[in-house]
Structures are given as C-alpha cells and as structure tokens.
Amino acid sequence: MTQLVLAPMEGLVDWRVRQLLSAVGGFDHCVTEFIRVSQTLFPAHVFYRYCPELHQGCKTASGLPVLVQLMGHDPELLGENAAFAVELGAPGIDINFGCPSKTVNKREAGASLLKCPENLYHIVKAVRAAVPDHIPVSAKIRLGYADKELFLENARAVEEGGAQHLTVHARTKMEGYKPPAHWEYLARIREAISIPMTANGEIWTVEDYRRCRDISGCTSFMLGRGAIACPDLAARIKAFEAGQEPVKQSWSDVLGLLLTYIDLLAQDGTTENHQAGRIKQWVALMRKGHAPAAQCFDDIKRIRAVSELQEKLQQDRDNPAYQRTEDPIAAE
C-alpha cells in the first residue's frame, strides 16, 4: 500500500498548510519544519510554536500524525530535545541531515554532517536511546554533500544507529534543488538496508510518481514542492494506485483553499504582511502546477493589503472559466 508523506518545508509548510493539504487528502502523515537545536533544551512553547498540533494529539485537524523534526549536531542535546518533544506528545522524531542552508552548514548541522557517516550514527543512536522504545525515530538524508561517494555508508549509519525509517532526498547538498533527482540511487540504498525507506525529490505529477516508484522500487514517497504546486497531487496519486479517476481540483478550488489559508492565518493573529507574503509565495510556487497561477501571480505580486488580495482571489474563484476541473497540471 503506497504511503505518502507531506515534506517538511521551513518557511512554507506551516501547521495551517499541513491542515489544508491533509484535508485535501492522499497523505498518510506530515513532518514539521525543522527545529534547530544548537545550545539548549527548548522550553515547551518553542515546540508548540513549530507544532501547534501538539495541542491536539499531534495530529492535523483531519487526523494525520505529525512527526517533529529536529536538526543539530550535538547528539546528547538532540536526544534531550527529542525526549521532551515526545513528552509533549510527538508520535515520532525525525532528524534532518539534508538542509543545504549555508548558515546551518557552517555550524556543522544539516547536510554537512553527511561528510562523515559516524556523525549520523552517533546522533541517531543518542536520539534513539533518549526516547521510549515505542516511539519511532527516523532520519532524512540527501545522497551526500559534495558528491555521492558516501551514500550507502550514510544510509547504513542511520540504520545502525537504530532508526526505524529513512527518507532520502535523491540529490546531494551541492545539487541543491536542481533537477533531476537521482532516483536510481534510491534502489541501491533500499537493497543495502533493511529498515523501510521513503523516496523524495522531484515528484510533480502522477507520471513522475509512477517513474520514481518504478525506478526506486519504494512504496513510500515524500512530496514537497509538487504538493505545494498542485495541492491535490497526493490524492491523485492515491486514486491512480487504486485505479480510480481522481476528483481533480479546479483553479477555482485552489483559490478557495488560498482564501481559507488567509482566514486561518488571520485567526492565528499573524500580521497582514505575513499573510500576504505567504499567499504570494504559494501562488508563485503554483505556477509549476496550475497554468492560471502565472497570471494570478502577476496580478497580486504588488498588492500589499490583504483585503485587496482577498478581493482579487475571490473574483478569480468565482470566474466560471476557472471552475472547470480539467487537468490543471501543465506538465501532464
């Protein structure tokens, strides 16, 4: 049975996006944006800020479990923070070994740890030892830092450290987010380890999913930018696997989702600046999934007042031309 995971995406997939995308359907669980652990055991409010779902059984409103993701370099400190997150209700801990950010990597966290598989081993082992046995610990890696030389060693280190699950973004740190993703390496990792594995990278369409599945041999997939560009991508994939016709979102449906997002952000007390920024960011990313998003982005990019933004989105939502549920993915 295919498993689909909504990717952690810092500055993009906040808890309201998790709420909205998990309600559209197709996903099996979500992961928080990374919480960067560098010097201290965080107080509870930090965990609640990144993962407000901790107040509701650590599930999204539609019932999907949310794993808490930690990133850092100090095994003991990561362990302490992981144990506290679990005390607060996290159903699992994911450890980030893939972040390419310069500031993060300068301080020896994220993807830079991939230069030495021992790093991964010690961190996973410490986190595993710090949380109760029934709580799964997982890790998310890339294929390497500058090259792919250590891709198997890093995967094995995660397994030997005691993780229950591994997610692999099929690119090195240096490859950033540039296509292609090297799904063929995933098959080799899958054969080298015995813990279950999730494939990640460059799945934008059902056809990408099918190719990634066939090349990697995986049954679990993490969707990042593809699910932002096309919010019903996970539902389409699940329908494809079930041999059913998916109920496809029209551009009008997508605009309805964005309008709900504004309401939810306002409910959370965020500033208008934040709300407008998030909407523009999302619409910009939707240009890869929905043809009308390009015009919409041009129309809204200079709007600052949220009321004006809402008016424009409402106008388009109610435009009959955008209510057709024809296939909106330009690439398909």
Ligand X SMILES: Cc1cc2nc3c(=O)[nH]c(=O)nc-3n(C[C@H](O)[C@H](O)[C@H](O)COP(=O)(O)O)c2cc1C
The residues that touch ligand X, with contacts defined as CB under 6 A, are: 7-12, 33-34, 69, 96, 98, 140, 169, 177, 200-203, 223-226
Q: Sign of dihedral through CA atoms 322, 236, 9, 17?
A: positive
* 202 labeled binding residue: yes
* 267 labeled binding residue: no
Locus of tokens 């959370």? 268
CB of 101 to ligand X, least distance (A): 9
Complex with ligand X: residue 12 or 264, whichever CB lies closer = 12
CB of 200 to ligand X, least distance (A): 5
What DSSP line would sit under 140-169, residue for residue?
A: EEEEESSSSTTHHHHHHHHHHTT-SEEEEE
Q: What whole-number distance in Å separates Cα of residue 14 and Cα of residue 128?
A: 26
Complex with ligand X: residue 98 or 144, whichever CB lies closer = 98
CB of 315 to ligand X, least distance (A): 29
Retrieve residue 326's tokens: 């024809």
Complex with ligand X: residue 12 or 88, whichever CB lies closer = 12
* 201 labeled binding residue: yes
Complex with ligand X: residue 161 or 322, whichever CB lies closer = 161
Catalytic residue chosen out of the listed positions 30, 51, 58, 99: 99
* 140 labeled binding residue: yes
CB of 275 to ligand X, least distance (A): 18
CB of 190 to ligand X, least distance (A): 17
What share of residues in the chain are helix, strand, coil (percent, to 5)? 50, 15, 35
CB of 241 to ligand X, least distance (A): 18
Residue 271's SS3 state is coil
- How many Cβ atoms are within 10 Å of 31's Cβ, its own excluded? 26
Complex with ligand X: residue 99 or 250, whichever CB lies closer = 99
Q: Sign of dihedral through CA atoms 120, 114, 175, 183?
A: negative
* 225 labeled binding residue: yes
What DSSP line would sit under 6-62, residue for residue?
A: EPP-TTT--HHHHHHHHHHS--SEEEPPPEEESSSPPPHHHHHHH-GGGGGTTB-TT
Contact (Cβ atoms closer than 8 angstroms) between residue 33 and residue 11: yes
* 287 labeled binding residue: no
Does 99 qualify as catalytic in the annotation? yes
Complex with ligand X: residue 212 or 300, whichever CB lies closer = 212
Residue nearest to ligand X (CB): 224
* 3 labeled binding residue: no
132 upstream amide cis, omega within 30 of 0: no
Instruction: Kindly give the interhelix angle for 306-317 and 293-300, rounded to the nearest 10 degrees.
Output: 150
Binding-site residues: 69, 140, 169, 200-202, 224-225
Binding-site residues for FMN: 69, 140, 169, 200-202, 224-225
For the annotated catalytic residues, the residue numbers are: 99
